[in-house]
Every structure is written in structure tokens, then in C-alpha cells.
Structure 1
């Protein structure tokens, strides 16, 4: 719900009397911007002439100048830049005698950076360079920068990935103070601390992780109590033992708030000595953990729950593939334990969906890279029972911790806590989705949140493998709220949980570190309200979104790099988005998305955009291109600098004529349409 802002109409446009606001600038490809203030406050539109010296992602002060009588949007002018989001940029040097300009490589429009002769260092014209932003005194002038390094062709991928990280506000590497604190932490576990903890070193314990994982932050222990009951422990790396409040380590971890996973690297939240050594639950090593231990039966019924700090010793590291082989074949190391835990996990999973969790599937891709980081193949990841085995027990632990803390009251008030929440579907978006679902024969029961979830699950189950699966899944996801961190516990609608938090990945998520600290204080009866908890939650949510943007950008870069080697080749695809100037197609096997522009179809017809039906229709021929349609395309352009791909539609044999077809021109893919709405898929 947006905040209600009092406005007074004066003349043609409405002026708005408001104090200057602080927010983050989100630039569009068209050169205008939006200042994002908060979840509650509507974004403020900024015209090109009102951007001042702000760049994309900067924290700025904006003065609201009016409310447009046409669009109804608040408009404003940036009056100050408080914090630069990015200081290092990649670009191409345009050298002149005595000075030069660097054309910055970015999806977002950026001014050229001025470089003085003394800072050019005799670098040849046309060189790709890395520059550091120095200052920007006035919008009438160019920003000033200095050249840090010339980027050689063999280094281009490395700098592209680094540029994606810095564009999204992430620091590369750690400063000396953080490194010093990390390296000073002892590798051996103090006996005095071991004596304070519950000892699980004699209990069978194992990890299940991807083949290339190094930071094993969760482990499962198993002990049979009798024929019906088992003790299953979820053991999480005790990062909060090593990373203490007030240290440089903690300050840096909070600033980053998350690790970022790009196709060829991880930009970690914590230094490698902590994430890959001290806190990684490697086999045959004693490790400190924070644990949730459950007594449960094969149906997943929980009789007892215990929380506390522990010491463990992992007996075996399984990859997902190894665990899946045991599940499929029934034989292998500790097969009886793996099969029992698998059975419990599947029962819990089934019950979770019966109680209202929504089973939206998500497709992830993994790139097969050569020794220089160049993609030579794309593999689509599948969610198999071995993944679900770990996922279900992590969900149980997260839920149980949130339930434990939710019971705590301080002076009659709930203890501030970083819940992970997911609100109910947006009513307006849901109403817009219903006619689309109806066209495919699906009727939704909107009586309660539970019946809405049941309607989604019924639809998702019936469309598996059908042509409409893609369009209905994508549109269904659009109706959902975004999951965020907050102290306001509204539950997690998508999972069907009243209480939920993130407890199980403190190596890569700062909210999990905060959860560990609060839980420890609760268990020791020393909990005190943190007045800054909501502010910390907002920061972590913002950094999570930035990490997701960086990861999408990294995937897109590799997809384009891969498709550059396949120019002129044909692929099967599905229409993944539609606009007034063309449609987007995602290739079925490679999951690479590009655009087919209407200009490339002008030889055949003039097309109208039917927005409510996510469709383009030919005025003369009646030919339609609808979201979810399967079509054949040819790759005609793959631009790494612009991070965009352009496709050409290939008619079926015997279909529409192709003669006299003009050469297609690459089309830009803006993130917002003409009225300023973000393009979502």
C-alpha cells in the first residue's frame, strides 16, 4: 500500500509540497530515471534534464516538484548525490591531443568520462580501459576520471564480470583490516568452547552439496531412536562465533549482506579463510555449528525440537549426483540413512503443498566454461529428490527457529527479528491474471488465500509439459509479492508458513547471521530489542535484489557470449514477452532470450499490440504472436557491450512468404515501456 500523500492541485499540473526525500536512482535505457524511496512510497520520476550529476544506483536527495496530471506520477529533481554506487567503470578510450573521453560500456545511459592528458598515460586511441570516477562538478561538464588499466582481450571476461559486480554496488576483494581480522582467527577449536556445546561428533553426519561447492554451510546428522522415531539434526556453520559485532569483518559482511554467484566466480560475503576453511563443514574436521535437532518419524511428524550451539564432525561429503544415485539405485555409502531421510523429506514436501504452499518451478542454467571462462555449453539445472532432501530439512529448521523467536515478548512487545516474509498475491494483478487463466480453462477460487494457492497448484499440475505452461507460470509469478526481510511478521504465503526466517546459510547471507545472534540471546534469556533491526532488514533486502540483478546480468553476458558463436543458426524457442515494438523469445534448450523486432516483420503485415492478451496480431493477415507460443528463430546479432541479442522469426515451411524481406536491424530492449512500467517476465 502506497503512502497517502496530501496534494493540492494548482493550474494544469499538481504541485506537491514535500520535504526533500532520500532514495536510490534507477535509470532506464531511455535516459530517464526513477528514485526509489521505500516499499511504501511510490517511485519518483526524474526527467533527463533533472538528473543533475547522479548516475545509476547512486543514493540521492530528490525534491518532488509536481504530480503529473497526465500520468498521475510524482516527478522530481535530484538536488544532491549522497553516495556513489559505482566508482570503477569499463569503457573505450577516444583519445585526442592533450585529453580524451572514455565511452562507458553499460546497459544504462552514462555520459562520457573526461580524462586529462596526464591521466591518459599515453594509451592508444580505441583501447578498452578500466577507469576510476574522480568527480563531477556540474551537469554542464563531463565527469572526470583516471585510467587504471588497459584491458587486454584475454582479460575482457574478467573485467566484464567485475564490472557487473561494481555496477550493482558490490566491492571486489577485501581491505587490509578485514583480511587481518580474518587471518588472525585460530584454526583450532578451543577446548573451553567445545565444553560449552552439545557434542555431535559421534553421530553420523554428512553434507550434500553441488560438485564444485567449497563453502559447506549445512550438514545433516542422523540417529535412530527406535523403530518409529529418529533424531535428525540440521547443523549450520556457526559464523556468528567468528564474526562478532563491532569488528571490521562484521561491518564488511553487513555492507555486502550477501555473496554473489556469477557464472565463473563467487564474490563472497566473507573472506575465504572463513567461508571455505573455518566455517566450511568439511569431512573429518571438527567444526562449530548452530543446530536445530528434531525427533521425528517417517511421516515427518515432529515430537521434540532442540536448538543450541554444537560441535560436529562430518563423516562424508556427498554431491547431489551421488545422493541421487543412491535414491535411484538403493545402494551406496549410508544408503539406508539416505533412503530414510529421502522418504521423510518427500512426505514433508507433499504435506507442505497440501497445506497451501505453491509449487512454482524455477529454471536455472549452468554454463560449461573452458579454461579461459568462455562458455562452450549450457546445461539446465533440474530439481531432483536429492536437492529436495536438503531443501525440505532447511525449510523445517528455518520455520522452527522463526516459531521459537515469535513467542518471545519484551515488555509485551514482539522481539524485533529478521523474518523472511512473502505477502499474499496482489489483488489487482490477480484480477488481471484471471481472464488469461480462464482462456486456458482454469477457474480460480478467490475465497481465501488457501483456496487461491490450491487453484494455482491445480493449474500448475495440469499444464506440465503443455505449450501454455510457460505463459501461465510466468504470468502467475507476476501476481506474487516479493519475498523480503522485515520485522513485521506477515508469514510466508508461497511456503504456506505463518513464521519463517533464514537460519541455514550464514556464510553467504547476513540475515542468517542476525538470526543466529537473536536466537542465541533468546536461548540464554538475554534478548534485547534492536531498534535498528528494521533498517538492517531493508538494507539486506536491497542488497539481495542487487545480487539477483548482478547474477541475471552475468548469466545474460554468458548467454550472449555463447550465442555470438552461433550467429546465423536456427533454434527452437518460446515467446516469453510481448510489447508494442516486438516480442522476446527464449530458446528452449539454452534459455537464451533475445528480441524479434516488428521492423523485421514489416514485410508481412502491420501488427497491433493487444496488451490484455499478451499478443501481437496482424491487421491484414490476422497472424498472431502470443506469449507462450513455440516458434523457430535465427540469431542475427549478439552484442556484449549492450548485453542484448536480436533474433529473426523463421516461418514454418509452406507458411508466410519471406521474399523481399528487408535486412533486420537489432532492436533495443528497454527495461520499462513507454509509460514507465517495468517489463516483467
Structure 2
């Protein structure tokens, strides 16, 4: 044994390569970490381990091995021809993303076959040149991502062009005069490609299929954003006509089949400008002393039948879209704003989760039933919040209202709202105790005039009234998922679309741990979900109110995975729920309608549905959710640039919100508008980009620009066409740039001071606006 161990540590380079080759070839499907490889090959000395790492790097260079993350390898079994997605960049650094999620591979323009962003392609890996990056050549375009593009028309004497906002085309989109469809110069237009580049010609040729209107008009610009993402900006007449034929009448048969809650006090709490009330709460005290709380959800599936014309359109859209100044609904207006909307003083059909809850907010029993309700009151969030505050509830403390005086609580139905708030706060407290992650984000809002022009820009935080609704919606979603997914041991759960959220990315979480350590914080890494969440919450509590709070919250959010829909339940990390789905918003989310239908089917004794088909719908809904989010962000960017365009030359206090190799992103403290300071404007030094530590470091003067640093900026440019806001560093009285960057030496001193303070402290002490409708847990 000793001789074998000694021999393994005295291998030369060729022997090490032979040993590693045999090891990987005998286990071609496995991925091994450095530790596993060292253990398997009995490498115990430092030189032997370093030799093995060097040899594996060369093997990866020669494509014999594939690197997985920073510290693991697997045998490369993919071959030289691969399929995946082409990613086109405006700077020419195009890449190919393999289907298996491996490392992106560079594709030069001459080897791109004029593939466009998002196209599915087949590539041939090129022979590797020493000291050069790996390259690939597109050999076939398997599927075009999109065939329509939106942009601004430029009409000349003999030909027209489409100027796109993405600026990702190497060659122009040419439009023959006869294919302009009435479009003129500076019109926004939607163009379909009729001829793709080939060996005989390099240009794209297209035809105008819709003229959106003149560039600069608010409606035109919002529709342009939608068209850019392939989202609908018109509702099909045939679908609206089908919706208009629905009477909304509640029959005696409907009443016989449902629990009657018309005489139970019920209310809705929504944004003040909302019209689609898809959730309501009821409350009453039972004879046994428990509180009966009903979470009542619009019964969309009663009116929209699977496979009908309305359902097909809703499925395609998958979600309502919330731009700054408008909502693009998933369902026709007659359904979402009238028939299904739980409007006050109107009898409505609902699908409800009825909870029996004790005074400590413990759920003693629940049931999921079809109901008929009649809302007594419609509250705006601001009204409900005012009612709470007038009765002594201090927002944000998590404490319930004091006991009423001799004349009771102030305001109509105040006791019901206050009781719901008290129960919600207890449920919320327990949720955080169980490991739910605390991320209270601020959201940018605009006040818009009648022409769509932003006249005020500000940010909002969720208040108690918002959290009241959120908490009961979370509770309902959780118990609905549990009712289907939680089955006796040995039994198989029926198919259901779950809303899942995976654990944080391990490498990003480690980066967060190392980054926060520089400020004196100790973030404990753990293999269990609960412990990881508790460590994050402890960190969020510790940084609250500190100057580094925003930067640490930003990096913590970046370490999180995206939530998605799937039939494979892995639980929800952010909420610390083992079972979670979306049930509470079928007016604006298609997965909720899917869940309603399945609950009805299973309650009637139906068999489980086809899992593969359900999974396809889940993937489609997850994809459409992401596309809708991108469109929403673009509308915010547009309004932000439009608003700040009125403030060119003005100076503001800001903080660094992003660091890239090409410049610094800064967010204005006053209104949260974000712009970029290009690297060319940091002319006092040559800066190196430290990606791991989120900073730029000056080579000569050693200035450091760190994520979260306070700076003083001046608004320089506002480019509406590109939705781009440019800042410069504001000049001080002496005419110098207002540099908040610190030297690396002062950074070390500051970090040491923070760490010292942290140690001394430890030893010395023994839904708002439209956004609340679209919280995406």
C-alpha cells in the first residue's frame, strides 16, 4: 500500500496523463471534483496534485476533457459537431451556447452564417490554436428564433431600410418600396423577413406587416416594445367576440354546487387603479372560537373552457403584461374586468381556500371548494393602510394594532381588517422563522400625464396592507400545492404545475460570502436549505441601515436562482415551502387556470393528466413570464430616460449599482433612475476590472470604484431610441471629477475597521401599485 502511494506521487507528466486518461475513460458519464480525483489516484503530495491539475488543463484545451465549474472535470463525449443557441452581440463577440449548458464558445462573424440572436444552430468546433480561445463555425441554421423585427423605417428614393433598436444586424434589412404597406420615414414598423442571407446575397429582405405609427408617440413606443419581444399589442376580434357572448349569469345549478359565502363579510384590497380584482378575503368568528378566513379567487375556469378560442389565446399569452402606463391583459376585457372580477356588491363565482385558524394563526383545518361570494367593500391599498394606521398599527414593525378604546376601532369594518392584519403578521413571523428569505425590494414608479409623459419619478416599498394580502395568497398557494403533492408514503402524487425555486448557485453564494467578509460579516455556508436561508436572513438583519446594505442585498439577489413552473416539485427555497404553486391569480396567469382545472378534475375523482404535456405548458409559461418581465423593464427604462431627459446637466447624489469592463452603472438616490458612466470618461487613470470583487482598480493612482460606493453624478445624455442614460462624474468646485473611489490601501483599512467593530459589537452584547398584482414568488 505504501509503495503504491509513493509511486502515485512520483509520476512524470506522460505517466500522469496516461493514468488520468484511463480514469476518465472507465467512467465516461461521471463528473469528478479535484478532491475525488486526488483520492482515486492516491495523490497526496502537493507537487503531484499540481501536476494532475496542469495535465487536466491541457486535456481540456485539447477537448479530451470538459471543465465543469471551477474545480471539476468530465470526459468530453460531445464530439466536434454540436447543437445549441447562437448569441449575437453588438460588439461582435458572438458565442454559441451548447444545449447541455456547457461553456459558451466564441464564433467570429465570418463563421456565423449570418445567424441571428437566439437561432438554433449546428456548429463545427475548429481546430484549437495554441494560446487562442476555443472557436466554432456555424454549419447549419436549424431554426430561426424569430421572423419578425420591429424598428424605424428609413425610406430613400429607390429602396427602404429598417433600423432596429437592437443594432445586432451586420447587414441592413432591405424593404422593397412595394412592400412598405404605406410606411414612411420615421414610422415604427413591424417587418417580416421574406429572404434570409445565403451564398448569393448577404442582406435580409423583408416586408412591412404593420405600421405602428410615428417614433416618439407614447402609444407607438409602448407597442414597439411589445412587438420587439413578439408580444401581442392588439386583442384578436374573434376572441373578444367570443367573450362578449358570455353572459356571466349565475344559475340555480351553480348555487346548488357551491358553498354560499354571500352573507360572510368579504373585501378586496388592490391598487387604486386596478379593475381586475382576482382575489378577495372573508373573515368570521366560528362558534368553536376559531377564525374562518376565506381566500376567494375568481373562478376563471368556470367560464374559459380548455381548448376553446379564449383558452387558446390565454395559453399563448400565458400572462398579463404590466408596462408603465398600461396593462396588456391575458384575458379579454369583458372577462378580466367584469365577469370574473370580484367587484363589490356583485355576486361572483369563486374557487376558494377556506382556513380555520386559531388566535395564534395556526391553521387547524382547511378545504378547497367552489363558492359564490358577494364582496362588501373594495379597498385600495392606501385606504386599508390608512385604516390600520388610524387604529394604532405602526407600519413595518410587525406588531398588531392595540386593543380598541371604549368606542371601538375607527373606520367601517376596521375590526375585520385589523384582525386579518394581526393574523397575517403572525403567519409572516412564522414563515421567516421557518427559513423564508427576507428581501423587501423598492420598485420604481412614475406618475404619467394624459399624453403618457412621466411627470414624477419615485419608488415605493410594500406596507402592511400589501403584506396582509401577500401573506394570505402565499398561504393559499402553499396549501393548495400540499393538498395534491403531499401523499402517503408509497403513493404517487398526481400531476400539478408547481412554482419551484432552487437553492442559490453555490459559486455565486461563495462569492457573496467572500465579498461580505471584507465588510466584517460572517456568512455561513451550509448544505441545507433552512440553514442557508437563516444565514441570509441574519446577514440582511445585520446590514440593515448600513451604507453597504444596498450593495450586499444586490449581490445576494444575484446569487438566487430564478423561480419557474414545473411538474417536478423541488420546493421553494425563497419561501421555505416544501410545496408551492400558483392558484391565486387566474385572471392574469395561465398556470393558475391550469391548477384550478386540475383541482376540479381530481376532486371529481379524475385520473392524473399527462405529465409531459403539462410540463411543456409549464416551460412555455416560464418562458413567457421572462419575456413579459423583459418588456416591462424596457418600458421602465424608456420612461426613465424620457423623464431624465428633462434634467440634462443637473447633478445628483448616487451610488454605484453595477460594474462592468466598459463602465460604471450608477443609480440616483433620490429617484432610483440608473445610467452609465462610460469607461472613456474615467480619464484620470487606466482601470482594471476585478469581476470577482465587483470593482474597478486604477493602475497608477489606485483609485477603487466598488459596487455600492456613493458618487456625485451629472446627467449627460438621454437617448430614447436606445433607452440609454449617460452620466458623467460631477465636477467639484476645483473642477476635478467628484471621485468617491478610495485607494486600495484605504479600502483595507476600512474593511479592517468594519471587522473590528463587528467583533467588538459581538463581544460587548451577551402587492403596491400595479407591481403588487405581479409579485412573482
Which TM-score applies when normalising by structure 2? Answer: 0.78
1:637 offset after TM fit, Å?
A: 0.9
3-state SS of the aligned residue for 2:657? strand
The CA distance in 2 between the partners of 1:36 and 1:272, in whole Å, is 40
The CA distance in 2 between the partners of 1:600 and 1:654, in whole Å, is 18
8 Å CA contact 2:214, 2:220 repeated in 1: no
8 Å CA contact 1:53, 1:81 repeated in 2: no
The answer to whether 1:475 aligns with 2:555 is: yes
Corresponding position of 2:356: 295
The CA distance in 2 between the partners of 1:196 and 1:39, in whole Å, is 50
- Residues 127 and 657 of structure 1, relative CA distance in 2, 3 Å threshold: closer
Corresponding position of 1:600: 681
Q: How does 1:191-590 map to 2 (within 5 A)?
A: 191-226=252-287, 228-330=289-391, 331-408=410-487, 412-447=491-526, 448-531=528-611, 532-590=613-671
The CA distance in 1 between the partners of 2:348 and 2:137, in whole Å, is 54
Question: Which range is displaced more, 545-554 or 133-142?
Answer: 133-142
8 Å CA contact 1:57, 1:169 repeated in 2: no
Corresponding position of 2:154: 93
Corresponding position of 1:182: 243
Unaligned runs of 5+ in 1: 660-681
3-state SS of the aligned residue for 1:414? coil
Post-superposition CA distance 1:185-216 (Å, at most 9, x none): 22212221222111111111110000111111
Post-superposition CA distance 1:516-571 (Å, at most 9, x none): 11111222221323231212111111111111111111111110111111111111
- Residues 596 and 221 of structure 1, relative CA distance in 2, 3 Å threshold: same
- Residues 458 and 533 of structure 1, relative CA distance in 2, 3 Å threshold: same
8 Å CA contact 1:44, 1:64 repeated in 2: no
The CA distance in 2 between the partners of 1:54 and 1:622, in whole Å, is 42
3-state SS of the aligned residue for 2:583? coil
Q: How does 1:136-147 map to 2 (within 5 A)?
A: 136-139=195-198, 140-147=201-208
- Residues 67 and 506 of structure 1, relative CA distance in 2, 3 Å threshold: farther
Unaligned runs of 5+ in 2: 1-28, 32-57, 65-75, 392-409, 740-777
8 Å CA contact 2:165, 2:721 repeated in 1: yes
Post-superposition CA distance 1:340-391 (Å, at most 9, x none): 1001111111111111011012221111111110111112121100000000
8 Å CA contact 2:304, 2:311 repeated in 1: yes
8 Å CA contact 1:92, 1:105 repeated in 2: no
8 Å CA contact 2:194, 2:207 repeated in 1: no
Post-superposition CA distance 1:420-460 (Å, at most 9, x none): 11111111111121111111121122233222212211111
- Max radius of gyration: which structure? 2
The CA distance in 2 between the partners of 1:238 and 1:73, in whole Å, is 55
Question: Which range is displaced more, 334-343 or 428-437?
Answer: 428-437
Q: Which structure is higher in helix share?
A: 2
The answer to whether 1:127 aligns with 2:208 is: no
Give the count of matched residue pairs.
652
Question: Which range is displaced more, 451-460 or 40-49?
Answer: 40-49
3-state SS of the aligned residue for 2:156? strand
- Residues 121 and 349 of structure 1, relative CA distance in 2, 3 Å threshold: closer
- Residues 226 and 64 of structure 1, relative CA distance in 2, 3 Å threshold: farther
Corresponding position of 1:30: 91
3-state SS of the aligned residue for 1:413? coil
Corresponding position of 1:164: 225
1:616 offset after TM fit, Å?
A: 1.6
- Residues 131 and 541 of structure 1, relative CA distance in 2, 3 Å threshold: closer
8 Å CA contact 1:57, 1:86 repeated in 2: no
